Structure 1
């Protein structure tokens, strides 16, 4: 219809488009997912001379995926960043950056 415009090469009806908050969450969690896979792979290839792909050398490596993360000064980051996406990535609700959620067993 003439009341709607295309913003991309694929038509998406207005009622199915992401809202601002959902779009921000989608982008944020996408960036977190990519960083959780890319950063450990780069660390293992660059810094580990005994690189064994797709293997854990100890239980501590497995445990390290779920404990810790990267502790960041979130209060400072949230004050200096005007972008809501960055504020969501570096949330202050206790969820650490680059930390996997514990498995539900």
Structure 2
């Protein structure tokens, strides 16, 4: 956390860098945030045509995305259940979901397409 304190009345202003993004935060005595101004959101990545496939056979426990949603590399897009264990299926690159090929409760085999970016 970089400290650029600028006292304004009973609050201090700090610039915080989190995951490469800078946020300006005003903190009042007692530690409560008075306001934050995040940078403008980045435009969602374009559809890449990439398919996210099932890493193992099992049942779809949860689908976390819908067509049109933007995802980042590493975002959990689906949770797969196999042998009473949940496995998070993550996006391997940033993109926009163009199609969701499964629903909660569906059975899938190794390599089945779950999500298309």
TM bucket (normalised to shorter chain) is under 0.3
Instruction: Answer 1 or 2: which has greater helix percent.
Output: 1
Q: TM-score, normalised by structure 2?
A: 0.22
Larger radius of gyration: 2
Instruction: Answer 1 or 2: which has greater strand percent.
Output: 2
Pick 1 or 2: higher relative contact order, CA cutoff 8 A, min separation 6: 1
Q: TM-score, normalised by structure 1?
A: 0.23
